[in-house]
Amino acid sequence: MPLQVFGVVRQGHPLPGSGRDRESVGVRLVESGDLAAAVGEIEEGSELREEDAARHLDILILLLRDGPVLPLAFGTLSPDEDAVRAEVLDPAAADLAQRLAAVDGYVETRLEIFFDEPTALREVMEADPDVRALAAETQGASSLDARIALGEAVSMQLTSWRQQQAEALLETLAPAVEDIVETESSEPLQQRWAFLVRADALERLDDTVGRLRSSLQNAAAVEYVGPLPVYSFLGQVQADTAPPRSNWEAPPTRSGSAWGW
Amino acid sequence: MTVATQSINRAPRPSSLADVLEVVLDKGIVIDAYVRVAVVGIELLTIDARIVIASVDTYLRFAEAVNRLDLQPDGQVSGLPGLMEEITEGGASSKTKGALSGAADKAKDAMSSLTGDEDEDEEEQPRRRPAKKTAAKRTSSSRSSSPRRRRQEG
């Protein structure tokens, strides 16, 4: 039966779940040398769906509790265990071990701040006479084109308003994290960050986010997620440790990705 | 005390499936040797279209919201514009309902609210025609510029 490969861990890494749960999680380790791949069986010819993506992430999150995890791309399949050893673990064993060491002790968290729209709209409109004039012009009697144009102009103003707010918030957050990646959003009022955090300093970030949340109160909705595998910092980990080049590549940054995000 | 706050503060993983997909899809270490990557049963086109539709829907929502703000300069809300405002108020409020459901950020919602808008436009067309010419002239160029899709994340 084909195997779905979730991630790479160290040999002897505890299986995800505890006690009796372990069997139901349906994950086992394929080990080779110092390394192991977390795999699960998958029906021949079956398609992966959104629920499988959620399961993929859940498994990696469970694994992360007990030590470093390198997430593999969702949908990585192998015909059997031998292929996992021969094609995933063995060819880049040194590189993988080095990467595991580099991410050891680090986790990723995500912070999403959705600023209150009525507040932002009012501030932007009061500050920008041009958009105000455009709004007055299209008031009540506009074509779809005109309304989209107005909305786009407003959207751009909201984006820069949000960026200003975010800059101020980042000053508070930055001292509590090792690194920051900003994640784009299609919503102008949505600010999203991924943070690289030392696992033992997570509490400090929690406190910071907690303070930030209470200072924002109703001015924004805050979603704070983690700890996740260091998805957003795989490239940087590589740069820091300068492992030997191999046939392993972190996913390239593609601005025109077919996924669109 | 802090511990209790923390557990409420931080979620183990994103609450919505869309956010989960964003974490997982197109991320992680890719093996380009012999292990193949399965074709995922999530249609690429749907996801691509979702972004574009969401942007247009967002623009329309902002346009409505701004018009509700009542910030127009003094002296302009009289005569014909004022009259137009009254006439279209009914249409605008039903549209707002559709746009708000689109804000739920789900592709289906966005899609249906956009479709809803188009239907309403057809119905309202005769009433809107008088002002359409000027508005269209001003904005015809902006239509062609597609909503920007950027990506910074590595």
pLDDT at B146 over 80: no
What ipTM does the predicted assembly reach?
Answer: 0.70
pLDDT at B92 over 60: no
- pLDDT number for residue B33: 55
User: What count of CB pairs under 8 Å joins A to B?
Assistant: 311
Share of chain A above pLDDT 90, in %: 54
Q: Which residues of B touch A148 (CB under 8 A)?
A: 56, 59-60, 63, 139, 142-143
The model's confidence at residue B39, banded by pLDDT at 50, 70 and 90, is low
- pLDDT number for residue A70: 96
The model's confidence at residue A5, banded by pLDDT at 50, 70 and 90, is very high
Residue of chain A whose alpha carbon sits nearest to that of B70: A136
Is A72 part of the contact surface with chain B (CB cutoff 8 Å)?
yes
pLDDT at B148 over 60: no
Average pLDDT of every residue of chain B: 54
pLDDT at A110 over 60: yes
Residue of chain B whose alpha carbon sits nearest to that of A202: B6
Residues 170-199 of A with CB under 8 A from B: 181-184, 186-188, 194
Q: Annotate chain A with three-state secondary structure.
A: CCEEEEEEEECCCCCCCCCCHHHHHCCEEEEECCEEEEEEECCCCCCECHHHHHHHHHHHHHHHCCCCCEEECCCEEECCHHHHHHHHHCCCHHHHHHHHHHHCCEEEEEEEEEECHHHHHHHHHHHCHHHHHHHHHHCCCCCHHHHHHHHHHHHHHHHHHHHHHHHHHHHHHHHHCCEEEEECCCCCCEEEEEEEEEHHHHHHHHHHHHHHHHHHHHHEEEEEEEEECCHHHHHHHHHHHCCCCCCEECCCCCCCCCCCC
CA distance A75 to chain B (A): 5
- pLDDT number for residue B102: 37
Average pLDDT of every residue of chain A: 85
CA distance B97 to chain A (A): 16
Mean pLDDT on A28-47: 91
- pLDDT number for residue B55: 76
pLDDT higher at A225 or B49:
A225
pLDDT at B32 over 70: no
Using DSSP's 3-state secondary structure scheme, residue B117 falls into helix
pLDDT in tens, A246-261: 444 444 433 333 332 2
- pLDDT number for residue A75: 84
Which of A4, A83, A145 minimises the CB distance to B140?
A145
pLDDT in tens, A64-94: 999 999 999 888 888 899 999 998 899 889 9
Mean pLDDT on A26-50: 89
pLDDT higher at B133 or A215:
A215
pLDDT at A232 over 50: yes
- pLDDT number for residue A33: 94
